[in-house]
């Protein structure tokens, strides 16, 4: 391929029309991230039923807004389903007669399987399912994606380009693992907040003033997370959480005493039990949605 043709191909690939169906927090995070990265050749439309939300989006970003999902999706390269699960069947019903099989449908709707979306949009529809998490709201998220059978490499590239705007991106081949993904990264921020909350409460019980205990807990957890991210951010030698923990722990010291108490309380088993409960619940919700069927 000649250099001129290569340049033209790259330019065409960069020109992308994205239709967000839903303008809530996660959609706003992605739109904000794409805007901050000064994406060239990117056109964004948003379908949002709330007039107030439409006004907010239009005043904050260079986007076209509408109350109609069908009109926003028409002709888009990528249609991002960013609505609540209970609203999704009605949205898919509206889109089913409008979009073409070649348009990529990127779903970030929790619990919606590729099969359930395909059932309403047609068996040839290009679909990628994604599970982002709430740190995407501050550009520190991670999204896990699973591609439907009709996806091609350029569809994967389009999905990555969008979700990279809010953090890291990983892929899984087996869609049944998405419930495990939800248990670890989707629900995971709540576990972190719970640990921070519990550490602050422990400080109060040990005699610290409440504001001091909360500040210590919050800054310690944030700082530890920053250390972990820096240690695993593409350096030639990466250091994982286990080694960082060992570096903080002196034999026979205060940290070791605390870790012994965690071990006595079967901390790791408790975390696994919590994640397993989240995974089971995710599976139950997916099965319940499938049982309701389209439009129910």
Q: What is the pLDDT of residue 289?
A: 67
Nearest-angstrom CA–CA distance, 164 and 263: 37
pLDDT number for residue 220: 97
Q: What is the pLDDT of residue 288?
A: 74
Helix ranges, the chain (H) = 3-14, 25-36, 51-60, 69-73, 88-95, 114-121, 153-163, 178-181, 188-205, 210-231, 241-248, 254-264, 267-292
Q: pLDDT tens digits, the chain, 296 residues: what are they? A: 434 433 333 334 568 999 999 999 999 999 998 887 655 678 999 999 999 999 999 999 989 999 999 999 999 999 999 999 889 999 999 999 889 989 999 999 988 999 999 999 999 999 999 999 999 999 999 999 999 999 999 999 999 999 999 999 999 999 999 999 999 999 999 999 999 999 999 999 999 999 999 999 999 999 999 999 988 776 556 789 999 999 999 999 999 999 999 999 999 999 999 999 999 998 888 777 666 665 55
Going along the chain from its start, the domains and CATH numbers come out as: 3-181 (3.40.50.720), 186-279 (1.10.3730.10)
């Amino acid at each position: 391929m000649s250099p001129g043709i290569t340049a033209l191909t790259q330019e065409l690939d960069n020109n992308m029309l994205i239709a967000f169906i839903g303008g809530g927090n996660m959609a706003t995070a992605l739109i904000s991230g794409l805007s901050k990265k000064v994406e060239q050749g990117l056109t964004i439309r948003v379908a949002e039923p709330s007039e107030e939300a439409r006004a907010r989006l239009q005043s904050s970003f260079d986007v076209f807004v509408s109350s109609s999902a069908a009109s926003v999706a028409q002709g888009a390269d990528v249609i991002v389903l960013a609505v609540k699960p209970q609203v999704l069947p009605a949205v898919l019903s509206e889109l089913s007669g409008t979009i073409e099989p070649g348009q990529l449908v990127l779903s970030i709707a929790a619990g919606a399987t590729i099969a359930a979306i395909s059932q309403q949009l047609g068996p040839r529809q290009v679909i990628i399912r994604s599970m982002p998490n709430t740190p995407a709201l501050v550009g520190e998220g991670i999204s896990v994606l699973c591609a439907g059978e009709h996806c091609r490499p350029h569809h994967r590239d389009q999905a990555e380009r969008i979700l990279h705007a809010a953090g890291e991106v990983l892929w899984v081949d087996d869609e049944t693992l998405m419930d495990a993904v939800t248990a670890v990264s989707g629900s995971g921020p709540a576990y972190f907040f719970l640990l921070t909350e519990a550490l602050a409460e422990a400080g109060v019980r040990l005699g610290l003033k409440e504001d001091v205990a909360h500040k210590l807990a919050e800054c310690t957890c944030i700082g530890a997370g920053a250390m972990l991210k820096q240690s695993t951010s593409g350096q030639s030698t990466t250091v994982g959480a286990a080694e960082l923990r060992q570096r903080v722990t002196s034999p026979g010291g205060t940290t070791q005493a605390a870790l012994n108490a965690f071990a006595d309380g079967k901390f790791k088993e408790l975390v696994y039990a919590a994640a397993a409960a989240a995974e089971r619940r995710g599976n139950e919700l997916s099965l319940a949605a499938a049982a309701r069927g389209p439009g129910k």
